[in-house]
Structure 1
């Protein structure tokens, strides 16, 4: 059976499909001894030999799905030029896993980690518009007019955000706690949205992805997703 090279790499737990495409373009993948840099190549996984960084890639037999409560102070990539800690240091597994999407260094909360490349590709592709819920402690208390700007979509430097669901959960002295639900995932988007209406984010946590909820897991801890949760994510 023929399969696209980037899908084979994703299914093998090397990286998400999108990242696998980057690895191919960077010349880090070989098929039967020849370096491949163009996308679109299909391979026969029963016959062709695929190397990544000169090591043979074998398709992962066991798929793993984890929900991690990411703490602040961790990156969601495998390596970092500044030597910062990676979320993968918190996971005890023999499988090669990668996060579904990202949370920035100073953001905590729900992060799904898996070696299912197909699911990762689906959940991070813009066309699927999976709703993500964040709780943000912001400096000051936004007026209804400012919240309405977020609800309608607000202009940032390079794009206008899609309409968001926003409400004040509570006030803490001079500050407010907002619940913000978005269907996009641009870099630092929630922080930038709040700054655009004049309210700096003090703390930010992601509490849900669709119907998958962070619940009572402590920071730095993780659990396996249930079969019901996995089924839900695959149906999105």
Structure 2
């Protein structure tokens, strides 16, 4: 009895499922399973199959094809969009300063690179009418210049552009005042071998003399700094043994007769005295060979040690022996002012 009940129940269940499928078949079409849905596109797509995309899938689910817009309607949309944008004016470029189309660099950028501070600080210099280009005071911001051709001045001092380089070396004793030495001795060129441009020295110091010597690649400035016409003064500290007479300074300023003519000092003073040892300062504008040593020796006081402490406005200060330093833009401007550049 149990066995027949079980089989009967099983049969009733299957029969009920058949009857349900038959009833569904008589009504609306059943929803296709995901694996049964059609996703054909292009010429091979059937009339009832979806074309593409989500909307087409939805249309396929409803059992009707996706609607398509008439060509006339699409043409109307295109025409409406064309009219919408046809009346727009061309976009204007941002306003710029006069002469922006010219070549060159902005003035404040050149000044900042030359060491006058930030670009904002350089703009303040322009606003204060402290900057000149080729003799004309600049009043507007954004002016363009050619650092290779234009002469730029700040407060009357010429600005050193990146084209030129200026250095001061505290030359040690024993270094030859040449850029190369065929005998292999230590020379000035040994201190600038890593520079990107060829430098040359301004004037000379004898081998045993220490102190300031300038190096640059500005030929005209170097020429004028050493030319007697411009009379650029150099100051030396000399160690001599005394006692020295009170009129030694007067004798040096009046002129000492040397084999190549008279040599005169512009200034003389005693800096320090320790017993018979004297440290004296001599300033002159001549540049003859060994001139300080020869003048003091002729006056009866051979020099034990000699240091050049300044060349024009460039001073030795606390610069250590053998150290090379780049001149500031102000120092370069003062040098050029000395020789009317």
TM over 0.5: yes
Which of 146, 157, 178 pairs up with 1:77? 178
SS in 2 for 1:111: strand
Do 1:153 and 1:164's aligned partners in 2 also have CA atoms closer than 8 Å? no
Do 1:152 and 1:164's aligned partners in 2 also have CA atoms closer than 8 Å? no
Aligned counterpart, 2:311: 209
CA distance in 1, matches of 2:304, 2:171: 17
Q: How does 1:129-168 map to 2 (within 5 A)?
A: 129-168=231-270
Aligned counterpart, 2:217: 115
1:62 aligns with 2:163: yes
TM-score of the pair, normalised by structure 1:
0.71
Q: How does 1:30-109 map to 2 (within 5 A)?
A: 62-91=163-192, 92-109=194-211
Structure 1 runs (4+) greater than 4 angstroms displaced? none
Do 2:206 and 2:290's aligned partners in 1 also have CA atoms closer than 8 Å? yes
Which of 284, 288, 306 pairs up with 1:186? 288
Shift of 1:172: 2.8
Higher-RCO chain (CA-CA 8 Å, sequence separation at least 6): 1
Larger Rg: 2
Do 2:179 and 2:201's aligned partners in 1 also have CA atoms closer than 8 Å? no
Shift of 1:78: 2.2
TM-score of the pair, normalised by structure 2:
0.50
My pick for the range that moved more, 68-77 or 154-163, is: 154-163
CA distance in 2, matches of 1:195, 1:82: 29
Aligned Cα root-mean-square deviation (Å): 1.4
Do 2:180 and 2:188's aligned partners in 1 also have CA atoms closer than 8 Å? no
Aligned counterpart, 2:277: 175
Identify, as 1 or 2, the structure richer in helix: 2
CA distance in 1, matches of 2:182, 2:324: 26
Question: 1:163–1:220: structure 2 CA closer, same or farther, 3 Å change rule?
Answer: closer
CA distance in 1, matches of 2:265, 2:169: 28
Identify, as 1 or 2, the structure richer in strand: 1
Shift of 1:162: 2.7
Point out where structure 2 has 5 or more consecutive residues left out of the alignment.
Answer: 1-161
Do 2:180 and 2:189's aligned partners in 1 also have CA atoms closer than 8 Å? no
CA distance in 2, matches of 1:171, 1:146: 15
CA distance in 1, matches of 2:266, 2:332: 26
CA distance in 2, matches of 1:97, 1:79: 12
Which of 317, 328, 334 pairs up with 1:232? 334
CA distance in 2, matches of 1:152, 1:164: 9
Paired positions, count: 176
Point out where structure 1 has 5 or more consecutive residues left out of the alignment.
Answer: 1-60
Do 2:265 and 2:282's aligned partners in 1 also have CA atoms closer than 8 Å? no
Do 1:63 and 1:114's aligned partners in 2 also have CA atoms closer than 8 Å? yes
Shift of 1:176: 0.7
Shift of 1:81: 4.3
